[in-house]
Structure 1
Amino acid sequence: MTLPVQSRLVVPVLGAGGGSGRSTIAGLLACSLTTLGTSVVLDTAPRLTSPWPSWPDTPGSGLASVPPDQPFTRAQVAAAASRSIGPGGEWAVLTDHREWNHGALDLPAEPAAWYQLAAGGGWQTAVADTTHPIAHDIVTARTQRLPGLTAAWCSLPFSVPVLCAPTTGPGVAALQTAVKAASAEGLPLQRMVVALTTSGEGRLPAAVKAAATMLQSQVSAVVTVPFDPHIRNHGMAQANRLGRRTAEAGAALVAAILASAYRTWGDPLPPAAVPAGLSTNSVSVRPAQPASEGVLTS
């Protein structure tokens, strides 16, 4: 099964707290989403906190070659993308490949800018590996009356958020707090998919099973990702060596995302808004217009 050529899916991977397995889930999703169409991971983390620069099989020129305040062509963003190979085929990664002693790269904070970057590259599915803890973000935005990153990611066109948490007591406690905050803020919980990441062998704790059961009626789906020794030792490097059960969990996540998208927007997915092209045949990473009305070239 593939997405219609003119359709697009955005999958922001959100964490209830630290150690929630966001990067692993983002990579696993990209592996599985290649069966639907071209796929890219958007690494929103600063260089020295991200595992992504060391994971791809073939490095690209990196995000530094796509300045956030200047227009770019589709060829430029394609050259910036690194390549990884998983069980379902090849997928792209947009990350920072500079040496550790370089200054901080000016990454855009706005989700709409990352959406524009993925649209400019022509990818059909974009997986955003985010870095902010969502409950803190939601409460801070609400109390200070500021735009929230979580709300902005959820409001992007054809966005199905994936909320991650580890299968531990503290992990699901943070997850439940995040769900409460999202519900209070009116965010689309019914569209979200929860990914529970397992860090070791053995049965799930009773608290985790209870939390998963309670969440079933609040979110679109709950998927448990099993422990994988390869991920423990190598992360998402050499992704074509993932275990069978891990690959099956990735396929289950994608199936849950598609089911959520179809319930929300219909099956097949309607065409994504096609931004108007610039006369210079280039794209700006920081759109002056909303994401669905930005600029895009072929």
Structure 2
Amino acid sequence: MVLDTAPRLASPWPSWPAEKGTGLAALPPDRPFTRGQARAAASGFPGPHGVWNVLTDHQEWHQGPFTSPSDPAAWYQLAAGGGWQAVVADTTHPVAHDIVTARASGHPGQTVTWCSLPFSVPVLSAPATGPGVTALQTALKAASAEGLPLRRTVVVLTAPGEGRLPPSVKAAATMLQPLVSAVVNLPFDPHIRNHGLADPDRLGRRTHEAGAALVTAVMSAAHRAWGDPLPPAHVPAALSAAPPVPPARPTRPAPEGVLTT
């Protein structure tokens, strides 16, 4: 399952799925929903090993922006309510800025809250360039100062073009290795540059290999932190949405359990 937390008009996810579900707008954050509704809201995205489920917003641009929940715990509840075994949250907030802002204001930031969710493994991506790794190092310094779980954090360096990595990037990756759980290099793929993740079967072989390495790195970080196999994650308690049934009417079966974000 992929959770698209970006605003619709700033996100590429709505244009990628082959089969569109009812979308996030069908699951208002202030109302109960059933597991069936959560499943119906997800869109089908053809992956290399089957269909992924993607929760994103498919409304037309003229319908106005959909207000999605900002609390990461609400997204966790949305994922757990749907019963998916693994969830990737595609977040867009600037990590270092969020950490420093939260530190200055004395309030928990988005990054801290995401990292505190059950079995969460942070994945930080940066372009494999000199400025890219410099910004990444600043973000990791801020995360370290706040005590965020760097030992289970995975770093992904994305190559912006063909050719070898610059010496500065190689040196930065070497320095990062002992600080984080893993550093994965994602090679340049012309198909991603031109089409994003549309038609993922056309991604390059090295891209598939890097994706597999990233999944392995994330699972290894989780297993080191919580054991192998992972214990069951907490599932939010279901709420009853059954309306009161008048005594004179025949009793109807209780509807499926519902949850709220």
- Which TM-score bucket, shorter chain as reference? over 0.9
Number of residue pairs aligned between Structure 1 and Structure 2: 246
- Per the TM alignment, residue 277 of structure 1 is displaced from its structure 2 partner at its CA by 2.2
Aligned to 1:249: 210
Residue 259 of structure 2: which of 273, 280, 283 is its match?
283
Q: Distance in 2 between matches of 1:278 and 1:215?
A: 45
Deviations 1:138-188 (A, max 9, x none): 000000112200000000000011011000111101000000000000000
1:223 corresponds to: 184
Give the distance between the partners of 1:268 and 1:133, measured in 2 at CA.
32
| Identity between Structure 1 and Structure 2 (%) | 71
Residue 141 (structure 1) aligns with: 102
Which runs of 5 or more structure 1 residues have no equivalent in the other structure?
1-39, 286-298
In structure 2, the residue matched to 1:75 is 36
Shift of 1:274: 3.2
Higher-Rg structure is: 2
| Pairing of 1:130-209 with structure 2 (within 5 A) | 130-209=91-170
Aligned residue in 1 for 2:253: none
Deviation at residue 51 of structure 1 after TM alignment: 0.4
Shift of 1:276: 2.4
8 Å contact 1:41–1:126 — kept in the other structure? yes
RMSD: 0.8
Could you say which residue in structure 1 is the equivalent of 2:251? Answer: none
What residue is the counterpart of 1:13 in the other structure? none
The one of 49, 54, 59 aligned to 1:88: 49
1:191-239 CA deviation, whole Å, 9 max, x = no partner? 1000111121001011110110000000000000011111111101111
What SS does the aligned partner of 1:101 have? Answer: helix
TM-score by length of 1: 0.81
CA contact (8 A) 2:77 2:235 kept: no
Query: Given residue 210 of structure 1, which amino acid in structure 2 is its aligned partner?
Result: A
Normalization by structure 2: what TM-score?
0.92
Letter in 2 for 1:260: A
Note if contact 1:68-1:107 (Cα within 8 Å) is conserved in structure 2: yes
> Which of structures 1 and 2 has the larger relative contact order (alpha carbons within 8 angstroms, sep 6+)?
1
User: Could you list the runs of 5+ residues in structure 2 that have no partner in the other structure?
Assistant: 242-256
Structure 1: how far apart are the matches of 2:260 and 2:237? 12
Distance 1:186 1:222 in 2: 20
Amino acid at match of 1:169: G
